[in-house]
A and B are shown apart, each in its own frame.
Chain A
Amino acid sequence: MSTTQLLNLYRVAPEFHLCIAGILVMILDPFVGPARKRWLGWLAFAGALFALLAVHRAYESQGMAYDNLISTDTFSVFMHVVVIVAASLAILGSIDYLDREGIQRGEYYALVLFAAAGMGILAGANELVTAFVGLEMSSISTYVLVGFRRKAAVSNEASMKYFLLGSFATAFFLYGIAMVYGATGTTYIDKVQAALQASGSIPSLAIIGLGLMFVGLGFKVVIAPFQVYGPDVYQGAPTPVTTLLASAPKAATFALMLRVFYVSYGAASEFWFWAIWISAVLTMFIGNLAALVQTNVKRMLAYSSIAHAGYILVAFAASTALGIQAVLFYLAAYVLMKVGAFLVITHLGQQGEKRLDIQDYAGLGMKQPVLAVSLSLFLLSLLGLPATAGFLGKFFAFESALDAHSVHGVAIIWLVVIAAINSVIGAYYYLRVIISMYFAEPSKDYVPSSVAPALSVAIFVAAAGTLYLGLLPSRVLDFARAAADSLPLH
């Protein structure tokens, strides 16, 4: 093997490991008896850990891989860490869940690993068709995962809805790529930038292409006005799959959005600024206002993740390197707290996911104090209480947006004010869950079940990460800054 080939391999080492682990799970699946299927979950988890180590390998041999198709820069490395951590926590949360629901299958874990590999490609792609392959790889895997509770009607409905609308959205994305190619003659993200700069004014075809790509990517990160499917799918999917869905694909797709908008279309930021602005405002209001009236915690968290995509867009609108840094930090924080919250719900739902109503959690603070404290921590972090990751995420997002007021003027200051007001609206529904857990009379019919070790470890990691990012964010922040600087901005 030549050095170039070896370097290429190093640069996609995480994806390589994830795929190998996935294939291994698939091969072993027929040979493992039903009672031992859960060991495949541990195998998949080990694969994800190896992939995390491989990220380090990729970090040390940065550069372009496979003829500039993949760019392994610090930015890509940062997103890989986020995606793989989310995927491995989701795997840990799945092992006992699948036993409980009686759907323990090897292909579940394989699909999670393939989805993670797809997201890795998405985060590192320097070429739009490659990005499309990554997008499809992660999407198709998740379509299947959403419908994994075959006997539950909601799960099937969610899967179908996600599949139909998702395919439609990716078609938009593909069509956008065609337009970009038509306008600039290239599909390489960095070369589009050069082509657009060389042409002086931005050709309208390129703007249309950007708009179409925005539709496709906006669908995947669940932002308004493409958010309608989100809550249904999140609610219908098995909770560990929701855990994955709400975290990793969102982060990876935001990574691609950053590359397309900031790198390719960096010179056209005044064109897309208003699109992002309007989308951000709509996303925040729709997410928060709809979450206010939910009684199902899982659905409420789904709306809350829409709202959080809105806060991320606030930083996104900044269109500066500081904005990228804020988006990345927010994603890291968001993934930890959201995964944590959904993992706790995974356990509390009990068999058949029956106990997901706010009233079902009445008196949980007395019955299962540790679980209640961790859920409170995640909810307070989502709410944006200082000393948690969620607060600093918002803090840096607002900071970067305000910093960009010299570029975008008063509009972005208003955006921050709207985001600030929204985060107070959001406080109400997060607190409702806490009210139920601590202030309400314990419900009689609830029999607490002990938390499985794998799930406890996952919840602990998420909780520790939420506090770590909230109190000592310097290292992650520096990493995010290095990642932002590694993008070839115009």
Chain B
Amino acid sequence: MLLSVITFLPLLSVAALLLLRSDDHAWIRRIALISSLFEFAFSLVLLFRFDPSNAAYQFTEYHRWIGDAISYRLGVDGISLFLVLLTTFLTPIAILCSWESIQTNVKGFFVSLLVIETAMIGVFVSLDLFLFFLFWELTLIPMYFMIGMWGHGRRIYAAVKFILYTMFGSILMLVAILWLYGLSGTFDLTDIQQYLATGSLPHTTELLLFGAFFLAFAIKVPLFPLHTWLPDAHTEAPTAGSVILAGVMLKLGTYGILRFCVPLFPKAAQEMAPFIGVLAIIGIVYGALVATVQTDLKRLVAYTSVSHLGFVVLGIFAFNATAIQGAIYQMLNHGVSTGALFLTVGMLYDRRHTHDIKQFGGLATPMPILMSFFLFIALSSLALPPLNGFIGELMILIGTYIGHHVWASWASSGAVLSAIYLLWAYQRVAFGEVTVEKNRALPDASTRERIILVTMALVILFMGIASPLFTRRMEASVENVLQRVNAPVNASRPARIPCMGAPADAQTTGSSTALAAVQTGVRQ
């Protein structure tokens, strides 16, 4: 029952919101916030009752739905657990950050936001391909409204581009899902997996099916060269939209790859891994380079996503425990860090109504607090130890290095480039003399903004220090995926890979406990 409650609680609050008068903005905001906090509390219950040693799906629910083949089946494992938490964590933040900036059609905005929450959680917890697809498509429409109605500038263009790109990918995935049903007679993920494990799938069919699934996910991630919708959508979306889009929605793609593409079609995944790995690296470097030359701050942050998500894809297709755990961890880090970057950019926008870097400069003088948090968040995004981004990138790079030295060395250039574009952007925005007179009188962070920023900063720090708390819960599920991938080629790949998981973990743990000690020292 717990998963159903978590999935549909936002819809319940939508019903409550619809009953309110549409000009009663104060209560609409309050109810949205309170319900999303309850939602977060429920997901914490999920976290504490989760059994890390169990690799199978937990909290499973099953009801018959349409015919014998389609059922309502939910469950979480170590891969989806934290993504659910990420969603429930970012939604109240997104609601808080829209508290004042959204003034038109307030009801519609919060309804959209909560519907997106239900849909995204639904994607993460569905264990039936039909149900999964339903939630997957359901994420699109409210996000489309969010960009189109409350966005900036070329919002309509961005909204249409966003939805058409994603739909094109997902419709071919639908054909693939139906094809799988034709083969196996069921939409149930575990049953399909069992059917496919018998190895009865012809090689070409497997490649085609893998391709159809992968295309849908790669567009969502987005993997180079399918990323062109992302800068537009992220830039034109309202702050909350960008936070949700970058924070969670991109992870639907990487989650899909990890949940469906790789375990269902392991041979095809291994065969295509060299190409995908190269695309991921191109994405890392290209995204970073393009980000460097942006003059629009929000667009810059948007391009960092292309780069960072490249790391995640690379980690997945390195096919070893460290890299995949790193990839999952990096999904969470990216959600928090990039979400926080968009939040600060949004706060600047609320003050100046522009994203143009030239319009800023020397902002550290009028707004020391906001700019300090901006720096902290930028540092986490560029993977400075002991912050969260460091752990994720390091695990990915170490894991990738085992099998693919060249990949790892190219990818690490992305880590360097990220320091360049973020610090340079920060320098142009915050340091030096105040260049635009208007900026002198800008108010510093308000209480509401401080609450948001402090929360984000604490989570960033916590995830940097306490990474084992997270990775420990992922291990069993990741091992599960790897077993599927490595089963056919066990002979050629000796068992040296799994043992790498432990040292990498220990290393990061060691460094982070040391740093934690320093931190506590500082606080005292």
Contact = CB atoms under 8 A, between A and B. Distances in A.
Chain A binding surface, main DSSP class: helix
B13 to A, nearest CB: 18
Contacts of A477: 66-67
Given A424-B171, A474-B67, A439 B148 contact: yes
Nearest to B147: A439
Query: Which of B22, B133, B135, B141 has the largest count of A CB atoms less than 10 A from its CB?
Result: B141
26 contacts: A366-B105, A385-B140, A385-B141, A386-B134, A386-B135, A391-B134, A395-B174, A395-B178, A398-B174, A398-B178, A399-B178, A399-B181, A402-B182, A403-B182, A405-B182, A416-B175, A416-B178, A421-B168, A427-B167, A428-B164, A435-B148, A435-B156, A438-B145, A439-B149, A439-B155, A477-B67
Given A431-B160, A438-B148, A402 B105 contact: no
Interface string A392-403: 000100110011
A420 B172 contact: yes
A158 interface: no
Nearest to B105: A366
Interface in B100-145: 105, 108, 133-138, 140-141, 144-145
Contacts of B383: none
A430 to B, nearest CB: 11
Contacts, number: 73
B226 interface: no
A23 B129 CA distance: 52
Contacts of A435: 148, 156, 159-160
B135 to A, nearest CB: 8
B98 to A, nearest CB: 17
A387 interface: yes
Interface string B65-88: 111000000000000000000000
Contact of A386 (B138, B148, B182): B138
A473 B178 contact: no
B175 A402 contact: yes
B419 interface: no
Given A386-B135, A420-B174, 8 more contacts: A391-B134, A402-B179, A402-B182, A420-B172, A427-B167, A428-B164, A435-B159, A477-B66
B189 interface: no
B163 interface: yes
A153 interface: no
Nearest to B135: A386
B133 A398 contact: no
A477 B179 CA distance: 20
Interface size class of A (residues with CB under 8 A): 20 to 34
A487 B333 CA distance: 59
B11 to A, nearest CB: 11
A213 interface: no
A477 B65 CA distance: 12
A470 B60 CA distance: 24
Query: Of residues A391, A405, A423, A424, which shows the largest number of chain B Cβ atoms within 10 Å of its Cβ?
Result: A424
A423 B168 CA distance: 9
A33 B148 CA distance: 51
A431 B174 contact: no
A32 interface: no
Interface in A319-377: 365-366, 369
A438 B171 contact: no
Contact of B149 (A391, A420, A438): A438
A369 B149 CA distance: 14
A395 B167 CA distance: 15
Interface string A403-429: 101000000000011001101100110
Interface string B424-445: 0000000000000000000000
Choose among B135, B164, B175 the residue with the greatest number of A CB atoms under 10 Å from its CB: B175
Contacts of A391: 134, 137
A365 B148 CA distance: 13
Contacts of A439: 148-149, 155-156, 159
A186 B372 CA distance: 89
Contacts of B175: 398, 402, 416-417, 420
B467 to A, nearest CB: 36
B326 to A, nearest CB: 33
A405 B105 CA distance: 49
Contacts of B137: 385-386, 391
Contacts of B136: 386
A459 interface: no
Contacts of B171: 420-421, 423-424
A383 to B, nearest CB: 9
A428 B174 contact: no
Contacts of B141: 380, 385
A337 to B, nearest CB: 16
A382 B264 CA distance: 32
Which 5 pairs of residues, A with B, have the shortest CB-CB distance? A386-B134, A439-B148, A420-B171, A386-B137, A424-B168
Contacts of A369: 22
A424 B171 CA distance: 7
Interface string A57-79: 00000000000000000000000
A431 B163 contact: yes
Nearest to A470: B134
A392 to B, nearest CB: 8
Nearest to B65: A474
